[in-house]
Amino acid sequence: MQERSTESINQSSNALVLFSSGLDSTYNLLKAKKNFKKITALFFDYGQRAASQEYVHVKRVCEKLDVEFIKIDLLWYKNLGSTLLTHGLKPTVFKSLNDINEKDKPAEWVPNRNGVFVNIAAAVAESKGYQNIVIGVNLEEAGRYPDNTVDFVDRANLLFEYSTLSKPRLVSFSSNMVKADILTELLALMEEYAFGKEYIWSCYDSYERMCGRCESCLRLKNALKAHGRDGEWKELFLR
């Protein structure tokens, strides 16, 4: 199902996993734990509104799974234009995913975010001897966010051929999956690792609970509804 982005996996190698504790990155972290000899989580604080909750959840997950993690600060990012960044604008709220116009430029777009992330990850990987970098991209958001595509993964790997000597490989276990399919496999992995829903933070903000109205929350809620699990997870959302 993910043949283009995981075809080169060597299970005796190690991996650096871009991790924010959201649905996609949590799935990819757990898949990486099963598919690589050793993994390390990489968390970026780039001035995002969700940073404080993401950081708490990332630490909690890594402690639960006994996974090392690295935190890198990119605070200069907070001055760039996006509602995900902490400079006064708030993330767009929707009543449902049907309200999202896929043709509009998302107000939540963070300029070149995944491009910056994977290139920093490549530098860390080359310095510390990681053969693989794992990123949580997905098919559902690919049309809205071009850095969520299989093509992005492929082109990043072409860049690494010239920008690194060790040529770490960027892979994603979710690149050809929609959120409901990701959740199907994630729920099984969560059960395998005795991993509760409270470890997930899939919101664009840092309230005491996930807001339930931003695009990220709505995509998670839609996937939960498809599985009949929305009532079970309701307590994690403000709305």
Indicate the domain borders of the chain: 12-236
* Residues of the chain with confidence (pLDDT) below 70: 1-8, 86-87
Both tokens of residue 70? 């690295």
- pTM attached to this predicted model: 0.94
- Top CATH class of 12-236 equals alpha beta
Question: How is residue 15 written in tokens?
Answer: 């991996």
| pLDDT in the model for residue 171 | 97
Helices (H) and strands (E) in the chain, counts: 8, 5
Which alpha helices (DSSP H) does the chain contain, by range?
3-6, 23-35, 51-65, 113-128, 150-163, 179-192, 215-226, 230-233
Q: 70-123, pLDDT tens digit by residue?
A: 999 998 998 888 999 966 778 999 988 888 887 788 999 999 999 999 999 999
